[in-house]
Every structure is written in C-alpha cells, then in structure tokens.
Structure 1
Amino acid sequence: METARRGFLTAGTWCADHNKLVERWPEEDMVVEILSEGVEGGGSACNFGIDIRRLDPAMPVDTIGVVGDDADGAVLRAQAEAAGIGVAGLHVVPGGRTNFTDAYSVRSSGRRTHLFHQGTSALLSPEHFDFAGSSARILHLGLPGIHEKMDGPWGGEANGWLHVLKAARRAGLQTNLELLQIAPARLRAIVEPCLRALDLLVINDFEVGAITGTATTCNGATDVEACQRAGARVMEQGSMQVLAIHFPLGALAFERDGTVTHRPSVSVPQAAVMGANGAGDAFAAGFVYGLHESWPVSESLSLAHASAAASLRDVGTTGGVESWRACLDLAEGWGWRH
C-alpha cells in the first residue's frame, strides 16, 4: 500500500439511526413492546469513520456528506466531532430533513430490520466531492441505491458513484465502495459499472450474489462455494486488488494474484449479542484498517471478524467497537469458529 498518504476519507451516507430494541419481530397487525430506544449516527460514512477512530484514535479520518439543520443533523455533527472526524465536508442543508432510519433490533435473535427516509441524502452529488486538499489514502464510499442524484447518470458516466470513484483515483486515493441490501437487480445495475474503478471491495454474501446475478444463499444459509465462484467472477470484472466477502460463519478474501483466504468468524456467545446493526461496517473498518497498516490479508480478516464481534455487543452501530488490540483480545477470549 502507498505510504505517502495516510488516513481515510469516508463519504456518502450519514443518517440518524433511531435504534429500537424489541423482544421479537411482530406479525402484521400485532403489537410488540419497545424495550429501549435512542438516536445515534448511522450510515456507511458515519459508522466506518467512527469505527476507524475507535480502532485507532490516532488515525486521521475526514468525511463528506449531506445532512439537514434539524435535530438529527445536530446529533450526527456532534458525534462526528466527538470522534475526531474532520467535518469540513459535511454539508448542512438549511431546512433539510436529515436521512433517518428506524432501526429495530430483535433481542431474542440479534437480527435487525431497517425502515429509512432518504431526506437530504437525495441531494448528495459529485459536486460535493473535492479531493484536491485531501491527504487521505483510502476513500470509503457508500451507499448506492439510496441517494437519488448519485444513483443517476452524471457527467457522461453511468452514475454519480462511478464519477466520484474515478475522480478520487485521479487525485491519488485508493477506492472502496460499501453496498446496501436493496433489490438485487437495482444493486447490480448501479454497482457493475463501478467495479473497474475500485481498489478494494468489502461486501456480504447477499451483495456478491446480487451483483453477479447468482444464488449465494439458500434458506438464509450461506453457500460458501457459490460465494467463492461469485467472488472470482467479481475479481475478473473489476480492478480490485483485494475483495472480501463476509457472512455470519466466516469470510473469504480474494487477491489479485489468485490467492483466496477463508477465515472463520468469532464464536460469539449468544448472551453477548445485543444486535447486528453496524456489524458489517465494523467488519469493513477492521479489514480495511489492517490493509492500510500493511497487515497480511489473513490478519486483516481476523481483525475484521474481531471488530464485527465486538460490535454485536451494542444495539447501536459503533458503541461496541474498541481499540484494534482490545477487539482481537476479545475474539481470542471467545474463540474462533471451526
């Protein structure tokens, strides 16, 4: 990895997560009690940035995004500043309604359900991105599918995401794109053109199936062999030096030289699980942090799993993540799946 640059620029989705913990997910027309609730930062740019700062408080992180001047926007700005994230690129829209998500976590299963309102995220466009003054090494960009302007054609490119990724590369940044579990056909249409403008890609089993048009899960279980085939196809289509695919029981990492590494996940005690909200972001932060620090891919996968495991201990998106050493110690204490 290049050493002249250092740190991360997170960009894209800043949303306020209205976190709600319930005992079980109700059927339609039924009632279930909310056990606890709170509002905190969410979205890929927010979660990844805060996770990086929690893993390593000395790591520089700046951000680009759009929020409103409402109460949710104030929460996001305050959390970014408290985490030590540079917010000069976090644009505030007067009178705007900040993107928000009603994020329900089920205590009995650890599963999550999100209902979101796009709000000011619809206004994000390539015009908000200026890389001229950035000394960051890696751009972490997301989330395609929920940003109206970015999702459409821009400047002769298939979409705004591709326009931004190409501009970042020209400015000397390495690029990483985070995805969201939206309708597979829509996800594929947006992401496929972007694959040739990526240096890294960290996705889950559903997402790799969506962007390749293949079945990678069956009745909620991961088909690891299908993920391996799909991952090889994505590597052929894209320019990534490293691709990681994560799933509940483990992860696969593909390198440009053909190496494929399989690493089981952490054996997290069920009693320790408060919610999975943000675990994917924590995995991405741990993995990309390791690569930034020139760790071997296998060790980066270990930190990715450890960060995700630590994240599961909190109903929010970032509260469970600790320093990279503390996350690894936690994982070693719990043990690894086989």
Structure 2
Amino acid sequence: MTRARTSPSATPWRPAQGRVVCVGETMAALAPDPPNTLRGAERLRLSVAGAESNVAMYLADHGIDVAWLSALGDDPLGHRVRAAVAAPGVDVSHVRMDPHRPTGLLVKDPDPAGTRVHYYRRGSAASALGPDLLDGPPVRTASLLHLTGITPALSESCRRLVTEALAAEPGDRPYAVSFDVNHRAALWPDGTAQAVLRELADRADIVFVGLDEAQVLWGGRLTAPEVRALLPRPRVLVVKDGANAATAFGDDGAVTVPTPRATVVEAVGAGDAFAAGFLAGLMRGATITDALRLGHITAASALQVAADHGPLPDPREMAALLALSAREWEERATPSPSARSAR
C-alpha cells in the first residue's frame, strides 16, 4: 500500500480567495430506474449530467462560492437543468437560455462491465459557446476558472474559448485555471486529442488526469511520475489511479493518498466529485494530504448513487475522516475490483 507523504503542516500553493467559475455544457440525462440495462428498463429517471456543473454543485456542497457558466436551450429540459444545478447553491444567473438551439441529452445504459453513454448533443446551445464568455462577469471577477477537456471537443468556438482562457502565462491571467483532462474519445476525430489535450493541460495551474486516460492518450505504460514529466508546468498536477490511489505533484514533490473502499452503484461523475473535493481543500488552505482525502471522500458520494451528484457525508464524519492517521486511512483503502475504474 502506498503511504501518504507530506508534512502535516505543509500547505500547497492555492488560488487567491474568491469565487470559482465552472464553464461547460450540462445536458439532461435519462437512465433506467432502478439501474439496469436500458433494454430491460420499464422506467427512466430524468436528471442532469455535466462535468463542470458536477464540480460546481459539489463545491457548493462544500460551502465554496461558485458559479456555473454555460448555455442551455430555452426549452423544458433547459429550465430543468438550470434549476437542478442551482439547487445546491450554485449561481446560475449568467447561464444563457438560447431560443434557437436545444439542450443536449444523454442516455445511460448501465451494465456490469461498465456504463455506456449515448449522446445527443450536436448543435446544442452549449456548442455555440465562444471566447466572448471570458470578457464579462462572472469570469473577470473569478479567482479560479474550472474547465475540462470536453469543452474544446464540442465545436471550433468552444475550442477557442478554452484556448483563449489558457493563452496567457500562469500568473499573468486575472484568475487561476483548473483543467480536468476528461478525455471523451467519441467526441474527438481520430488522432487529434493527444496533442490538443496535452497542450491545454500543460498551460493550466491545476490539472486532474486519470492514469488510465493518460495511458490511452500518451503511452500505455506511463506511471504517475512520467505523467508529471509530460506535464511539467502546472503548479499542481493530480494523477488519479482509480481504486488504488491519487498522487498530487506540487512545489514540494509528490504526495500519494490511497483510495478508500466504496460501494459502487454508478461510477460516472466520481472524477468530477474528486476534483471538487480537492479544489475545496485547496481553496481552504488544506494540506495536500487533506485535499486528496477530501477528493476521495467527495468521489465516494458520487459512486454510491445512480445520479452524478450525491449527498456528502455529515460534516462531523468528514472531519473524523480527515483526522485519521495515515495508517488508519490505509486500513480503509483496500482496492476492490468493482471500483477499480471509478475515477
């Protein structure tokens, strides 16, 4: 078992205090209820799904001031999505309701081997987002802008949005940028994702990437330190190794925290929850160890529900988990095959 390595008093670099703004598409989502294969389902549940809004909702759950910035169709699904994202306390007042383009839709097809997701998002309202979004509120007053590698795959204007958000050198931007690689192969023409996502990720201040997706993108036998060598510029790089561990590389080297055991109902959304927990820790000045632990705790909340957004543990329970010794934490972290690909 890999042990966490850090000084309990060590605090990492963190963004300036202020609002977090998450930018990206959120869709209406249909899934069998109860979770089953789509063909055998008698009833479908309607919810919402979007990587960036997942992060925003979990940040709000953690008490972080956060806004979600996007576009939705001015249609019943769009209004439902907007209300759902707002419910935990996310500011959605700057979301554009487009009267000419629809809200995107996805359909989940759960299976013991993994959930398949079918997308109906071409020509959606969010696909028309562009770099003009960066010129006004709430981005200009943000302390941290959170983006993912999904957005640049949606359209040329969406790629310009992400490229321009990362154009300036870190430290010269009015905000820090957090970037989750979030590789979605179906959205990218063959052979294009590798270079684009590496270039974008290496220009961010904080980066999240799964070891498995890094291996798909940049080399089948990559280790976490080798991913760091490929992405040397971010102030903080988090490499998530599924049910095994997560490693954060920062100014003071690498810190690894094992993944605690968790019941897996549905794995989709756990990576977004992890990012939100880690960012919440950073924003509050936590140690890298505690930020990684908070990422794991938040991810477990997503794993244990069929929807992308599940309830956090009681604050007293979270505090008790953060207070565990390294040995006590490791005792909770035996990998389970069912959770191995969850993050």
TM-score, normalisation: structure 2: 0.79
**Residue equivalent to 1:181:** 183
**Residue equivalent to 1:55:** 62
**Residue equivalent to 1:191:** 197
**Residue equivalent to 2:118:** 115
Distance across 2 between alignment mates of 1:144 and 1:286: 21
Measure how far apart 1:96 and its partner are: 1.9
Measure how far apart 1:83 and its partner are: 2.0
- Structure 1 spans left out of the alignment, 5+ residues: 26-30, 155-159, 217-225
Distance across 2 between alignment mates of 1:45 and 1:23: 24
> Aligned runs of 1:22-33 on 2, under 5 Å?
32-33=39-40
**Residue equivalent to 2:286:** 295
Instruction: Report which of the two has the higher share of strand.
Output: 1
**Is the contact made by 1:5 and 1:135 (CA closer than 8 Å) also made in structure 2?**
no
Measure how far apart 1:207 and its partner are: 2.6
1:255 maps to a residue whose letter is G
Measure how far apart 1:290 and its partner are: 0.8
1:141–1:229 distance in 2 versus 1, CA, 3 Å: same
1:164–1:188 distance in 2 versus 1, CA, 3 Å: same
TM-score, normalisation: structure 1: 0.80
1:44–1:189 distance in 2 versus 1, CA, 3 Å: same
**Is the contact made by 2:180 and 2:208 (CA closer than 8 Å) also made in structure 1?**
yes
Relative contact order (C-alpha < 8 Å, sep 6+): which is higher?
2
Q: Secondary structure of the residue that 2:135 maps to in structure 1?
A: coil
The number of aligned residues is 307
Q: Secondary structure of the residue that 1:76 maps to in structure 2?
A: helix
Instruction: State the Cα deviation string for residues 40-96 of structure 1 (Å, max 9, x = none).
Output: 22112210001111122xx21112111101222111111122222112321111032
RMSD: 2.8
Distance across 1 between alignment mates of 2:197 and 2:286: 28
Instruction: State the Cα deviation string for residues 256-297 of structure 1 (Å, max 9, x = none).
Output: 34x1122110112xxx43211211111111111111111111
Identity across the alignment (%): 20
Measure how far apart 1:233 and its partner are: 1.8
**Residue equivalent to 2:41:** 34
Instruction: State the Cα deviation string for residues 103-124 of structure 1 (Å, max 9, x = none).
Output: 2333x56x32211122222211
**Residue equivalent to 1:222:** none
- Structure 2 spans left out of the alignment, 5+ residues: 1-12, 336-343
Distance across 1 between alignment mates of 2:87 and 2:295: 24
Residue 71 of structure 1 pairs with residue 73 of structure 2: no
1:181 maps to a residue whose letter is H
Distance across 1 between alignment mates of 2:220 and 2:34: 31
Q: Which one of 203, 221, 227 corresponds to residue 231 of structure 1?
A: 227
**Is the contact made by 2:33 and 2:45 (CA closer than 8 Å) also made in structure 1?**
no
Residue 336 of structure 1 pairs with residue 333 of structure 2: yes
1:231 maps to a residue whose letter is V
Distance across 1 between alignment mates of 2:16 and 2:169: 16
